[in-house]
Amino acid sequence: MNSSIKLEPRVAAILGALVGDAASLGLHWLYDPARIAQIDKSKGLVFLQPDASDYAGVSGYFAHGKKQAGDSSAYGELCLLMLRHIARHGKFYRVDYQSEYRNYFGPGGGYQGYIDSPTRQTLQTLLPLKPEDFPLQSGADDDQFAALAALPAIVAAHDESQDALKAKIEQVVRLTNNNDTAVAAAQYAGCALLAILQGQSAGQALSGALPHAGEKLAPLVEEALQTGMLDSAAAAKRFGSACHVLEGVPVIAHIARYAPDYRTAIEENIRIGGDSCGRSIMLGAIMAAYTAQQNGQVASIPLEWAARYHKLSIAADACVQLRHQ
């Protein structure tokens, strides 16, 4: 089945992020491309049941033993949390969001799964406090990919200036990642997605957002955009495939610039290994929004992929609320 979904670009961005994350979960944090290639030949790449034997004897970390194919990583859960927050409240409210974050990811909350370092440190800050005492910057000094996870909903719901978007992104990122590099990476990715939603091509948007990337990230992304052809393996070898934004954002930009469609982008992202779920949030958002813009609101998210994402109905309901605001 090769059917794609007709979606308004803002909705496509959000669902592209969520579906991409779930598609990547089965091989998340497997750092051996040769092993991934072997698995691809026998089982494929997307929506695989997490299996410890796939990680045996090679570089990787098996974190999702209690999850099922179609579940989300913590990144996808964070993306959905922000979507539901904005859909419920009409806009972003910091203290309410911090409370929802603590209630969901903290002890006794609805989230079940691996807790990464930024999440753990953020919870350690929030758990002892009353909501009225929550700090403006509750996040860890950490540049990992939790910093980008909430962006699709933030950007999709944004109707102000680019400068206002950058300020909002900084506020949101510092709640989980109180780190200048993380903020700059999020502002770059957010401005690129906004430009796509405003009608720019992926190449124009990814290049045009470079002034927002900061002095550490900008030259890396610029290099990643200049290869002239899709070579995700070379990009991963050059920039890295781990959880840090200085590694992953150039890889995202490279794939988004040269991949022909959403399916190709997500599969290439999985093939190179490492923090595929972390990269998939903004990669999926950018590719889905761009293809929806280019193809008369037909995003190239495969229909059969969307159907396998376990929280599709929850996300779809929140997107309907978002569109009516």
Crossing angle between the packed helical segments 180-197 and 245-258, to the nearest 10 degrees: 20
- 0.85 cut: is pTM over it? yes
First-to-last alpha carbon distance for the chain, in angstroms, is: 34
Cβ distance 95 to 132 under 8 Å?
yes
Residue the block writes with tokens 């699709």: 152
Which percentage of the chain shows pLDDT scores above 70?
Answer: 98
Is the pLDDT assigned to residue 1 strictly greater than 50?
A: no
Q: How confident is the model at residue 255 (pLDDT cuts 50, 70, 90)?
A: very high
Helices (H) and strands (E) in the chain, counts: 16, 2
pLDDT tens digits, 112-148: 999 999 999 999 999 999 999 999 999 999 999 999 9
Give all domains of the chain, ordered by start, each with its CATH number: 8-323 (1.10.4080.10)
Report whether 182 contacts 245 (CB < 8 A): yes
**Residue 92, phi-psi category: left (phi > 0), alpha (psi -120 to 50), beta (remainder):** beta
pLDDT tens readout for residues 191-203:
999 999 999 999 9
Return the H-helix or E-strand segment holding 144: none
pLDDT in tens, 271-307: 999 999 999 999 999 999 999 988 777 668 999 999 9
Q: Is residue 98 within 8 Å of 83, Cβ to Cβ?
A: no
Question: Could you tell me which residues are beta bridge partners of residue 6?
Answer: 298
**What is d(CA 57, CA 262) in angstroms, rounded to the nearest whole number?**
31
> Which residues have a Cβ under 8 Å from the Cβ of 310 and sit 6 or more positions away?
22, 68, 70, 71, 72
Quick check: helix, strand or coil at residue 300?
strand
* Tally of CB atoms within 10 A around 133: 9
